[in-house]
Amino acid sequence: MGAELEPREELLGLVRSLTEQIRVDRELGKPLSHLSRENPGGAAPSVFEPALSAEASGGETSALEAVREAMADCRRCPLGALCHNLVFGEGNPRAELLFVGEAPGADEDAQGRPFVGRAGQLLTKIIVAMGLKREEVYICNILKCRPPGNRNPLPDEITACEPFLIRQIEAIRPRVICALGSFAAHTLLKSEAPITALRGRFHAYQGIPLMPTYHPAYLLRNAGAKKQVWEDVQAIMKRLHEGE
Ligand code: URA
């Protein structure tokens, strides 16, 4: 924790993620427009590129469904064969606020729904305290399948699953993302900085304001951190109310 990645390791990680992304894009029938003749400079594609956008797919719901269908009975990493249910995510496909957690636990694995165990009940309370309903936001995880014994996600599992999260975010197009815990923050921000240093201020994920905060499971063990989470979610609400 805290140490920056070695440049070679970082480059290898980037190449692996890009390769996975390209493979998923192929499965989704998404053209590699950043390499096409229309874009000879080869600039990186915008996160809101049309192929899976609301306009092209007939709505956020079908864009999300396309991502879910592309995952199918996923076996891109060993977790697919070990879990009972793939936990894709749930909520409003047009949510302004997206919560991204780490990975399903036992309750989520049994029900196929994110954040339904003890940590999930606390997350629901946080959402309600923000003046929102759970159905109004969207909730998903970095990993869609439960790691055995709730162990931490492995780098290869994150690499295999991340392209689907990227496409989910593109389909939903939230105004704000809240990264719950260090795995979500590190994966989305490509940072290794500790969550204590990342939380409390907005970062950007593909131009979308992203607030990292403590994971609700951490709050269950460290009630003293609730105050900081409350500050973080208040900042999110302020941002969401701006420009209303
Ligand atoms: N913890 C997570 O990170 N995600 C869930 O869905 C449940 C617990």
Ligand 1 site, residue 109, Cβ cutoff 6 A: no
Ligand 1 site, residue 108, Cβ cutoff 6 A: yes
Phi and psi, residue 154, nearest 5°: -90, 155
Which atom of ligand 1 is nearest to 181's Cα?
A: 3
More confident call, 115 vs 44: 115
pLDDT at site 198: 98
Measure the CA–CA gap between 207 and 66, rounded to whole angstroms: 23
pLDDT at site 11: 72
Q: Return the SS3 of 139.
A: strand
| Structural domain range at position 19 | 2-37+46-241
Over the stretch 195-237, which tens digit does the pLDDT of each residue have?
999 999 999 999 999 999 999 999 999 999 999 999 999 999 9
CATH code at 152? 3.40.470.10
Is the pLDDT reported for residue 127 higher than 80? yes
Over the stretch 22-33, which tens digit does the pLDDT of each residue have?
766 776 666 544
pLDDT at site 19: 74
Dist. CA 15 → ligand 1 center (Å): 28
Which atom of ligand 1 is nearest to 184's Cα?
A: 3
Question: What domain count does the chain have?
Answer: 1
Prediction pTM value: 0.83
Ligand 1 site, residue 114, Cβ cutoff 6 A: yes
> Is 171:52 a contact under the CB 8 Å cutoff?
yes
The token duo for 212 is 């990292």
